Amino acid sequence: MTLAQIKSYFPGGGPFAEKALFVLLFLFPILSLSVRHWLSGAFSLIVLLSLVYAWRSLKEKPLYREEKILFGIFGLYFFSILLSSTVNGWTEASYHRLGTELKYLAFFPFYLYIRQYPSAWRGLILAIPLGGIVLGGQAIYDTYFTSFERANGIYGPIIFGDLGVLLTIFSLIFALTNRNKLWISINLLAGAMGMLAVIYSGSRNAWLAVVVSLIILPFLIGTRTTFWRVSGSYLAIITVAVVMIINTPSAITARVGVATEQFKSYFYHSPDDNYDVTTTSVGERLEMWRSALVIFRENPCAGIGPGNMHKEINWLAVSKNIGVKTKHGHVHNAYLEILGTQGIIGFLVFIAMLFYPLYIFLSKRRYDRRIAGLGIMLMSGFVVFSLTEVPFIHDNFSSIFLTFLSVFFAWIIHAKYESRTA
């Protein structure tokens, strides 16, 4: 990609709706964790624009079958939230949680607006490597020049590390599937800076996700990329990662050893030990997972209602001596959280929400391998993130998920059907 090609990506005389969408998508990853409220703010601005512009081309370009199924899944997901809250009685926590979950209802006009303007999708693609570079710079600043002593951003190390994983892998896909030296160089730099953000975040969740993603990546990048190019790139990535780890402050790298020790202590400890293994970071999470399974067994169909997990876990700890009291509002595992709060109904819909888009990206790879690869890595990332976090109840995580999903899904569907009519 030359400078002239990059310049051509920016819309010229298009309609206001297209230009506004391009700008918002372009700025979305760049300002993500450096400007407070930007992720939710950008998402909300696109939603507001969609209320005006989403419906204009539905008659000219009706929803395709894959899009109708995706809409059905999102509709059922939101319905399962309402059902569980209604069956169990609406609480203050349920109403509070609903504020974030309304985003999954807003997905409908949001997606309809985005699918209309293929030229605007390029804004997000151009900005992904820039976002990785900015995130890496933020990681260096947070680690060495603030009291955080690790990459934190505005909203904490977990979302910082997870977004770093996505931007790293997306940038590597661009670098490995392009032949322009300038674009390759920009994306390799973005991949290195994104990897720095992942390592410096100290988020063990992100560390696991980036390892899984790097294992999957070679299978997705297409036949145009040679074995030697992939091998050389991976050797460079591993070398850079090792150098980064060696120079990482010990307070960050020590988190691996601490987690391993806490995990071993939880399962293999002596009754004579002078500390409670259930109160460590790992021990508390494992106890919350155990409590969530108990809650699911007692409320299998509709769960106990979104937002009520914290109260129920503490009640079990006090009244039945199951698990431990916790200050966390969720169990740090999306699968168990939804099993407990929305029951088997919500859980099955949630699984469909994760794996149906993944299936579409896998099955439509022949239409655009690069975009399909981005979609596969996005969904795989959230599958892994959900093992130790509940991204879908957080405003900013939801904004990231819905924005990237909308662009990638619309793009792969566009590639499929436009190739037939071209």
| Angle between helix 369-388 and helix 157-176 axes, rounded to 10 deg | 160
Cα separation, 184 vs 178, in Å, equals 7
Q: Which residues of 204-217 are buried (b: 16+ CB within 10 A; e: fewer)?
A: bbbbebbebbbeeb
Alpha carbon distance, N-terminus to C-terminus of the chain: 24
What pLDDT, on the 0 to 100 scale, is given for residue 242?
77
214-237 residue pLDDT tens: 989 888 775 556 666 677 777 777
The answer on pLDDT for 247 being more than 80 is no
Which residue would you say has higher pLDDT here, 62 or 222? 62
Q: How confident is the model at residue 275 (pLDDT cuts 50, 70, 90)?
A: low
147-179 residue pLDDT tens: 888 999 999 999 999 999 999 999 999 998 888
Would the pTM of this model clear 0.75, i.e. be above it? Answer: yes
If one counts every other C-beta atom within 10 angstroms of the C-beta of residue 385, the result is 26
Q: How confident is the model at residue 294 (pLDDT cuts 50, 70, 90)?
A: very high
CB 334 within 8 A of CB 389: yes
Mean pLDDT over the full length of the chain: 89
| Average pLDDT of the residues in 23-41 | 95
365-417 residue pLDDT tens: 999 999 999 999 999 999 999 999 999 999 999 999 999 999 999 999 999 99
3-state secondary structure of 9: helix
Q: How confident is the model at residue 27 (pLDDT cuts 50, 70, 90)?
A: very high
The answer on pLDDT for 129 being more than 60 is yes
